[in-house]
C-alpha cells in the first residue's frame, strides 16, 4: 500500500507499462542519461521550489517525479497541471541529482497525448501547422505591415512555397501526427 | 563575408515583422550576409510540439535543418524557442544513431536526408562573436546611443537553458552577457527581481492556459516598474510577443502602466540610426511614443 496525492493506492493503480513508455520515449530521443535519471531523485523539493508555475498553481514537480518512481504517473494524464509546465528548465538546471525533469515532463505529455488526453486548444496548434506549416500563421494586417516595411508580403516559408507545405503535410501524415489536429 | 541561413520561424515573420526587418538591416550594416531558407516551416516549438510528440518534433526540425544544409550555412535565429528546437534537434540527431535512422526514414518520403553538417546559432551569439561582429564593432556602428533610458533586460529561458548545449556558456542564475550588449547601445540595464523567471508563454501554456501565462507576465511588469524600467528588451520574439500582447490582456494593468517592448535587434537598429517607422515599432501593441520622445 502506498499513499499518493492523498489517496491510498491499490495494486491495480501501479502501471509499470506507462512508465516503460516514458522511459522508451526518452531513451529513443535523448538517450540513457535522461531515461534513467528519475531513479536518482531524493525528493528534496528543489524542483517544486524553483518552479514559476508551481508557485501559483497546483503543479508539484517533485510529485510528478515521484509518480514516475511509484509507477503512478498515468494519474496525471487527465489532470490539467500536467500542462502548466512552461518548459523553462529551471528545475532541471537546479536538480542536485541531475534528474532531467523537463525532458521527462515532455515525454510524459507525449504518452498522455497518445492515450487521447489533449486539449482542443492544443489540437488547434497542430491543425494550424498542418494547414499552413506554421503554428502561428500570417494574418492579412501583418501582410500589409510587411509590405510597408519593404519585406515580401508573404514570408519565404511554407506560406510562399506550396511544395514545402506538401512536404510538411506528408511528414505529419507519415508520423501519424496530423490526426491529433482533428477535433477530439 | 560571413553568411548565415536566416531561420524566420512563425512569430517573427507572421506577427513581429519589425524584428525581421531590423535583423536584416543590422546584419547588412555589420557586413554579415543572411540567406533565406526558402520553404522553412515552424521550428516546431520545443515545449509545444515537443510535448505532443518528440518524434514528430525532431523530424520536422530535421526537415528545417536540411534546408540550411542545402545552403551549406549555419543557421541564425531571433527566437529562443526556434533556437532551442533547432539546436537541440541538431545535437540529438548528430549524436543518436537510432533517432537519426528513424527520422531519416521519414525524411526519405519527401526526398530529404539529415546529414549533420551545420550548426545553429542565436542572433546574440552571432552579434557577439568577435570573428563575425563583436561588441567593439557593434559599438563602432552606433551613431545614436540611447542614453537616459532604463532597460529591463529579459533573457528568456531557452537562450540559456538547458545549459549543457549552449555555446555562450553563460551563467543561468546570474547572466550578464545581454546586459552588456544592451549597455553598449546606450541604455542602463536596471536590475529587477523576476529577471531570470520565465515570461510564462512556453510549453503550450499560452495556447492552453492563458491566465497562468499572463499572471507571470504581470509579476514581471510589476517588478520592472519597481525598477523604473522605461523599456523591456529581449532576444526572443516569443517573449517579445508575450510581453507586448500579454500586457494588453492584463486587466490589472492600466494603459499608462504598460512598458514598451523591443527585440534586441530593434534596439540595435535604433542605435544604428534607423527610424522607428522603418523597424515596425509603431505597430507594437504597447506604444513606444514616450520612450521615443525621450530619445529625441
Ligand atoms: S530537484 Fe531533483 S532530486 Fe530534488 S525532488 Fe526534484 S527531481 Fe528529485
Ligand atoms: S521546467 Fe516546468 S516544472 Fe520545471 S521549473 Fe520550469 S515550469 Fe516548473
**Where are chain B's structural domains?**
2-123, 142-294
- Out of A51, A69, A95, mutate this one to test ligand 1's pocket (max ligand atoms within 8 Å of CB): namely A95
pLDDT for residue A182: 86
| Chosen CATH of B142-294 out of 3.40.50.11810, 3.20.19.10, 1.10.1020.10, 3.30.56.10 | 3.40.50.11810
pLDDT for residue A106: 97
pLDDT tens per residue, range A45-62:
999 999 999 999 999 999
A86 → closest Cβ in B107, B196, B202: B202
Chain A residues closer than 8 Å to B13 by CB: 138, 146, 151, 155, 157, 159
Please report, rounded to a whole number, the percentage of residues in chain B having pLDDT higher than 70. Answer: 100
Is the confidence metric ipTM above 0.85 for this complex? yes
Please report, rounded to a whole number, the percentage of residues in chain B having pLDDT higher than 90. Answer: 92
Judge whether residue B55 has pLDDT over 80.
yes
Neighbouring C-beta atoms of residue B33, cutoff 10 Å? 12
Q: Which fold has domain A2-114?
A: Fumarate Reductase Iron-sulfur Protein; Chain B, domain 2 (1.10.1060)
pLDDT tens per residue, range B223-278:
999 999 999 999 999 999 999 999 999 999 999 999 999 999 999 999 999 999 99
C-beta of residue B135 within 8 angstroms of C-beta of residue B181: yes
pLDDT band at B19 (very low <50, low <70, confident <90, very high): very high
Architecture of the domain made up of B2-123: Up-down Bundle (1.20)
> Between β-strands B231-234 and A7-9, what pairing exists: parallel, antiparallel or unpaired?
unpaired
Quote the cell numbers at residue A144. Answer: 500589409
Q: Where are the domains of chain A?
A: 2-114, 120-181
Cross-chain Cβ contact B48/A125 below 8 Å: yes
pLDDT tens per residue, range A145-173:
999 999 999 999 999 999 999 999 999 99
- Out of A68, A79, A80, A101, mutate this one to test ligand 2's pocket (max ligand atoms within 8 Å of CB): namely A101
pLDDT tens per residue, range A85-142:
999 999 999 999 999 999 999 999 999 999 999 999 999 999 999 999 999 999 999 9
Chain B residues closer than 8 Å to A138 by CB: 13-14
Q: Does A69 touch chain B (CB under 8 A)?
A: no
pLDDT tens per residue, range B59-104:
999 999 999 999 999 999 999 999 999 999 999 999 999 999 999 9
User: In angstroms, how far is CA B22 from the centroid of its own chain?
Assistant: 12
Q: Nearest-CA residue of chain B relative to A132?
A: B41
Q: Is B55 left (phi over 0), alpha (psi -120 to 50) or beta?
A: alpha
Tell me the H-state helices in chain A.
16-29, 32-35, 46-50, 61-70, 90-94, 101-114, 120-132, 140-148, 162-174
pLDDT band at A13 (very low <50, low <70, confident <90, very high): confident
C-alpha to C-alpha distance for A183 and A120, rounded to whole angstroms: 7
Residue nearest to atom 2 of ligand 1 (CA): A95
pLDDT tens per residue, range B274-293:
999 999 999 999 999 988 88
pLDDT for residue A6: 67
A142 → closest Cβ in B14, B102, B213: B14
| Centre of ligand 1 from the C-alpha of residue A66, in Å | 9
Cross-chain Cβ contact B203/A86 below 8 Å: yes
Rg from Cα positions in chain A: 20
pLDDT for residue A3: 65
For ligand 2, whether the C-beta of A158 sits within 6 Å is no
Q: Does B264 touch chain A (CB under 8 A)?
A: no
| Centre of ligand 2 from the C-alpha of residue A91, in Å | 6
Amino acid at each position: 500500500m502506498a499513499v499518493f496525492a492523498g489517496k491510498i493506492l491499490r495494486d491495480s493503480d501501479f502501471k509499470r507499462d506507462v512508465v516503460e513508455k516514458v522511459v522508451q520515449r526518452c531513451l529513443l530521443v535523448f538517450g540513457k542519461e535522461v531515461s534513467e535519471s528519475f531513479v536518482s531523485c531524493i525528493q528534496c523539493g528543489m524542483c517544486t521550489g524553483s518552479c514559476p508555475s508551481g508557485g501559483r498553481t497546483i503543479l508539484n514537480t517533485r510529485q510528478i517525479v515521484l509518480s514516475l518512481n511509484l509507477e503512478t504517473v498515468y494519474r496525471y494524464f487527465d489532470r490539467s497541471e500536467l500542462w502548466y509546465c512552461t518548459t523553462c528548465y529551471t528545475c532541471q538546471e537546479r536538480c542536485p541529482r541531475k534528474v532531467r525533469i523537463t525532458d521527462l515532463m515532455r515525454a510524459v505529455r507525449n504518452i498522455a497525448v497518445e492515450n487521447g488526453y489533449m486539449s482542443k486548444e492544443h489540437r488547434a496548434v497542430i491543425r494550424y501547422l498542418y494547414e499552413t506549416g506554421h503554428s502561428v500563421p500570417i494574418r492579412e494586417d501583418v501582410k500589409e505591415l510587411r509590405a510597408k516595411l519593404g519585406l515580401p508580403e508573404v514570408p519565404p516559408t511554407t506560406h510562399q512555397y506550396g511544395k514545402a507545405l506538401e512536404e510538411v503535410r506528408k511528414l505529419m501524415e507519415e508520423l501519424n501526427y496530423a490526426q491529433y489536429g482533428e477535433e477530439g | 563575408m560571413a553568411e548565415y541561413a536566416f531561420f524566420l520561424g512563425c512569430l517573427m515573420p507572421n506577427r513581429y515583422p519589425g524584428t525581421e526587418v531590423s535583423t536584416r538591416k543590422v546584419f547588412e550594416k555589420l557586413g554579415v550576409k543572411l540567406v533565406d531558407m526558402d520553404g522553412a516551416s515552424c521550428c516546431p516549438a520545443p515545449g509545444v510540439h515537443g510535448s505532443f510528440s518528440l518524434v514528430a518534433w525532431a523530424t520536422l526540425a530535421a526537415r528545417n535543418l536540411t534546408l540550411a544544409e542545402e545552403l551549406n550555412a549555419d543557421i541564425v535565429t531571433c527566437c529562443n524557442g526556434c533556437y532551442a528546437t533547432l539546436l537541440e534537434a541538431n545535437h540529438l540527431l548528430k549524436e543518436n544513431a537510432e533517432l537519426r535512422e528513424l527520422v531519416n526514414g521519414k525524411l526519405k518520403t519527401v526526398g530529404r536526408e539529415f546529414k549533420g553538417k551545420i550548426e545553429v546559432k542565436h542572433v546574440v551569439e552571432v552579434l557577439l562573436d568577435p570573428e563575425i561582429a563583436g561588441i567593439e564593432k557593434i559599438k563602432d556602428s552606433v551613431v545614436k546611443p540611447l542614453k537616459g533610458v532604463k532597460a529591463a533586460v529579459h533573457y528568456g529561458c531557452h537562450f540559456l537553458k538547458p545549459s549543457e548545449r549552449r555555446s555562450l556558456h553563460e551563467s543561468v542564475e546570474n547572466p550578464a552577457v545581454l546586459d552588456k550588449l544592451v549597455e553598449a547601445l546606450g541604455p542602463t540595464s536596471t536590475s529587477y527581481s523576476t529577471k531570470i523567471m520565465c515570461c510564462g508563454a512556453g510549453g503550450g501554456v499560452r495556447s492552453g492556459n492563458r491566465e497562468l501565462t499572463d499572471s507571470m507576465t504581470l509579476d514581471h511588469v510589476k517588478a520592472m516598474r519597481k525598477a523604473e524600467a522605461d523599456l523591456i528588451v529581449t532576444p526572443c520574439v516569443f517573449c517579445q510577443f508575450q510581453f507586448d500582447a500579454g500586457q494588453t490582456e492584463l486587466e490589472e494593468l492600466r494603459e499608462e502602466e504598460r512598458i514598451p517592448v523591443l527585440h534586441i535587434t530593434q534596439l540595435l537598429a535604433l542605435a544604428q540610426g534607423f527610424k522607428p517607422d522603418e523597424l515596425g515599432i509603431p505597430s507594437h501593441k504597447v506604444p513606444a511614443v514616450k520612450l521615443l520622445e525621450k530619445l529625441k
